[in-house]
Amino acid sequence: MLRALINFRMKKMLESIAETPTIINKVEIDIVKMKDRFYVYKRDDNSFLVYGETKQDLIDQLHTRWPDKAFMASPKNLEELDLK
């Protein structure tokens, strides 16, 4: 009986999640290193976004300025700059 109730509630919760529209504002970026700083640019129009000295600096600045966006660098770009 308890198992049936748990399964019913899980099913309802999953249905609710599935019906909720998920909008991810993805921004593709390129990261360039000059001397001791990293510079982030939007890939589609090459506009400057932020700069920082560490990967965490970049993450913090991007998410502070644009909390509703997901920033995506290519794996190759991250590997080239040792930011994996």
The string of pLDDT tens digits covering residues 25-47 is 899 999 999 999 999 999 999 99
Which has the higher per-residue pLDDT, 68 or 13? Answer: 68
- Residue 4 within a domain: no
For 70, the domain range is: 23-84
Euclidean distance between CA atoms 33 and 71, whole angstroms = 17
The predicted structure's pLDDT at residue 35: 94
Euclidean distance between CA atoms 78 and 84, whole angstroms = 5
- Residue 49 within a domain: yes
Check if the beta carbon of residue 27 is closer than 8 Å to that of residue 69: yes
Paired tokens of 67: 């909390």
- Residue 29 within a domain: yes
Number of domains observed in the structure of the chain? 1
Percent of the chain with pLDDT over 90: 63
- Residue 75 within a domain: yes
- Residue 34 within a domain: yes
Measured between alpha carbons, how far apart are the two ends of the chain, in Å?
48
Which has the higher per-residue pLDDT, 9 or 58? Answer: 58
